[in-house]
Amino acid sequence: MPLQLPPLTAIRVFEAAARQGSFTKAAAELGMTQAAVSYQIKLLEERVGAPLFLRKPRQVVLTEVGSRMVPMVTEAFGLLSEAYQVARAGSGGTLGISTVHTFASNWLAPRIGSFQLRHPNIAVRLDTSSYLVDFSREEMDIGIRSGSGKWPGLATHFLLRSQFSPMLSPRLAESIGGIKEPADLLKLRILNPADIWWKDWFAKANVPADALDRMPDTSLGSQAAEANAAIAGQGVTVLTTALFTAELAEGRLIQPFELTAHGGDYWLVYPEGRRNVPKIRAFREWIMAELNCPTDATVD
């Protein structure tokens, strides 16, 4: 039996009226008319079965029944209010980020520290998965995904263009006397020959790449893993240039050609209606600044 409750609007009004000792003042406090207060009190009195106020000349005073109700009602509303506030603030407690592995390890992880420094009260939970998170089923706040930038119900912000280009370790390049022209790459082991990006890139380089089809597929499932294999000199792979600036700068990988092809872009996404939730706004503004994006680059 579901716990019998008084009419909530009425009792809310009652609480204010009891505190103020006046219907008129209560009405002012609640932003409604005195008539509405009178109506609600009367309603509650009928439900309770007893008068809650005595109507004295210039004021109303609580009856015994009324005054017995007040403390509990006040406390109850205090609790509700607190629960509400806590929930609203609490939503700023933890920021759940769902992102693809590559982006997490090659771009986000090295930089997320600066976000945490700026927002010490927001805890970050990083979750990497290969599928686009469903915000209604998983407790995530934002996602970073590559794709077309069109997802229904989600707000999207363009992060960076996924330019990719073949990369390999300098030692492997040396082992065949350096990479002079695109076709040289085919002399090496291609880590992920089935990857469509290879076809795109060779096409752009005007190099027939039928050979790719005959190579064994040894792809590892993520750019990060393949990058590691490449760094270890196991072969050559195509990688998103923006995500491996560190490896390129340190010489662990080289990008033999300026030529890049274009894949799906990276996007920041979150549920439409949550644009102004503080922690989401904070992250959005941070990442946009970090990437030098105009902050208004929103796509619907």
Q: Which two tokens stand for residue 167?
A: 């990369």
Task: Give the separation between CA 196 and CA 137, rounded to whole angstroms.
Answer: 31
Decide if 193 contacts 217 (C-beta within 8 A).
Answer: yes
106 contacts 250 by C-beta, under 8 angstroms: no
Residue nearer to its own copies on the CB measure, 66 or 182: 66
CA 296, CA 280: separation in Å to the nearest integer?
15
C-alpha 28, offset from chain centre: 40
The set of residues, in sequence order, having a beta carbon less than 8 Å from that of 249 and lying 6+ positions away, is: none
* Binds 135: which of DNA, its own copies, none (CB < 5-8 Å by kind): its own copies
59 binds DNA (CB under 7 A): yes
**Which residues in this chain contact its own copies in the complex, by CB under 8 A?**
2-6, 8-9, 11-12, 16, 29-30, 46, 48-52, 54-56, 63-66, 68-69, 72-73, 75-88, 90-91, 93-94, 135-139, 273-274, 277
3-state secondary structure of 97: strand
Only one of the segments 39-47, 66-74, 91-99, 248-256 lies at the binding site for DNA (rule: CB under 7 A); that segment is 39-47
190, 212 Cβ separation under 8 angstroms: yes
**Does 66 interact with DNA (rule: CB under 7 A)?**
no
Q: Which of 6, 19, 29, 36 binds DNA (CB under 7 A)?
A: 36
Q: Does 286 bind DNA (CB under 7 A)?
A: no
Site for DNA contains 23 (CB under 7 A): yes
Angstrom distance (rounded) from CA 50 to CA 58? 21
Q: Does 271 bind DNA (CB under 7 A)?
A: no
Q: Which of 1, 3, 4, 136 binds DNA (CB under 7 A)?
A: 136
Min dist CB 99 to its own copies, Å, is: 19
Cα–Cα distances in Å, from 239 out to 8, 164, 231? 60, 5, 12
Would you count residue 40 as binding DNA (CB under 7 A)? Answer: yes
Nearer to DNA, 36 or 291 (CB): 36
Q: Which does 36 bind (CB under 5 to 8 A by kind): its own copies, DNA, none?
A: DNA
Based on CB atoms, which residue is closest to DNA, 42 or 101? 42
**How far apart are CB 263 and DNA at their closest, in Å?**
26
- Residues 178-217 binding DNA (CB under 7 A) are none
DSSP, res 272: G
**How many residues are present in the chain?**
300
Q: DSSP letters along 111-151, please? A: HHHHHHHH-TT-EEEEEE-SSPP-TTTS--SEEEEEE-S--
Please give the residue ranges that form the binding site for DNA (CB under 7 A): 7, 9-10, 13, 22-24, 27, 31-36, 38-43, 53, 55, 57-60, 136, 153
